[in-house]
Amino acid sequence: MTHPTLDTEHRQVTLRIGGEKRTSASGGWFAHINPCTGTTDAEIPLAGPEEVDEAVQAAHRAFESWRSTSPAERRGILMRFADLIDEHGEDFKQLAALDNGTPIGLGDGFVGMSVEWTRYYAGWADKINGDVTSSLRTHGDFSYTLKQPYGVIGVIITWNGPLFSLAMKVPAALAAGNTVVIKPSELTPFSADLYAQLATEAGIPDGVINVVPGSAEAGAALVAHPLVKKVTFTGGPATARKILALCAEHIKPAVMELGGKSANIVFADADLDLACGLGTIMSVGVMSGQGCAMPTRMIVAREVYDEVVSRVADLAKMVKVGDPLQADTLSGPVVNYAALQRITGIIERAQRDGARLVAGGKRLGGELANGYFLEPTVFADVDPLCELAQQEVFGPVLSIIPFDTEQEAVAIANNTEYGLSGYIFTNDLKRAHRVSEALNTGEVLINGAANLAVNRPFGGIGISGMGKEGGREGLDEFLRIKGVAIA
């Protein structure tokens, strides 16, 4: 069996500060462990506060020139950047397999969406307009608004989809005229390294994009830096609380794209082939369940409950888990040994809590024994108030819960602290609209509609976050509004 390995070109991750590449830093070194093999395959230099300061200073110096670059030129540069990401799609797929075990088949989708998001926001660069707020001199003034960039944006991304996380943030920030300092997770630094290299090749000036892989210390230094004017973060609520505390201390705004415990409500009139198929793949297949918007709670009408449980269990057992370099692999490993231990602990406690295990539940052995591979796991008869139904697992584990009425389904779906995505399967369009309005989530996807569409805002409520990515709303997160009045 093959496993992803680093070639010589990509073995050395670098910091990129003002156009300079650095192969060492004051934060020490991090041993990158290949999740497919459990072995160390690279040593990652970690930025400390010193390098973070240098990166922010470089971004600050580059800001005035970049914001003054004509919108049409910014658009053209970002379009070239998108083309280069597309041309290097195979490289990104290989790096994603190495970064966190993303199967190359899924990597196709991540690369394609990253190209699409970059082109979309490139197109916005010359369409940033203010408004005339008073032209009739009602108050004796002629008034209008300007939309202007903030300056340096601190970009902190997590490990589960590094390329796409960058594409959801950086193109919009740059199209608006900002510069960025990116802190990728030390667990998955390879994609960000190539991303910065291609940005330079596309003609993005030195200092506009800076990359400082690092630990929590580097992240804290970035958030607290006085020249960082806004922070955008993808990750979990625990880290978000620390970031928001620092933002509050320094009075700076933030966008938080956080976790989820998304409900997938399957009504009795639903297309069960579609509901069971997508519900299984999206919860225990894609990304090994390591995605914030995954529908990890399937809430099913009692009339079809037994049939759905049986179908989903059978489908979960058919999910191909294994080598991410194989084209037919759907699910790779979880990110590291700590995640493996945490998820298996949740599975064990769920069984003690009385949930009925109908598929999976174990670490995979054989030729996968050294990696961090888990069987796709499905529980039925899950108590809506137990840990499994309330807390984000971030692994290939699905809870199935019965309901008797529409009102009960909505109540179960809303009974968590999270509020990222909601999923509905029904052939009753009025019901779909009614339930969509009732769900406490940032988005609702009906009958298999795709999430993360570039022209639609994405972002949660509650401990799932604040602010939006995608659509015009995602661009506006990187623009200040200034009012101007002429007497």
Catalytic residues, by residue number, are 257
Q: How far is CA 401 from the centre of its chain?
A: 26
Whether the CB-CB separation of 261 and 296 falls below 8 Å is answered with yes
Q: Which residues contact 85 (CB under 8 A, 6 or more apart)?
A: 92, 111, 114, 115, 118, 163, 167, 195, 198
Distance separating alpha carbons of residues 332 and 285, to the nearest angstrom: 9
Q: Token digits for 75?
A: 């658009």
Residues in the chain: 487
479 bridge partner residues: 149
Distance separating alpha carbons of residues 282 and 270, to the nearest angstrom: 17
Percent helix, strand and coil across the chain, each rounded to 5? 45, 20, 35
Helix (H, G, I), strand (E, B) or coil at 323: coil
End-to-end Cα spacing for the chain: 75
Which residue type, as a one-letter code, is found at position 427? Answer: N
Q: What is the DSSP letter of 161?
A: S
Q: Token digits for 334?
A: 């979880």
Which residue type, as a one-letter code, is found at position 20? Answer: E
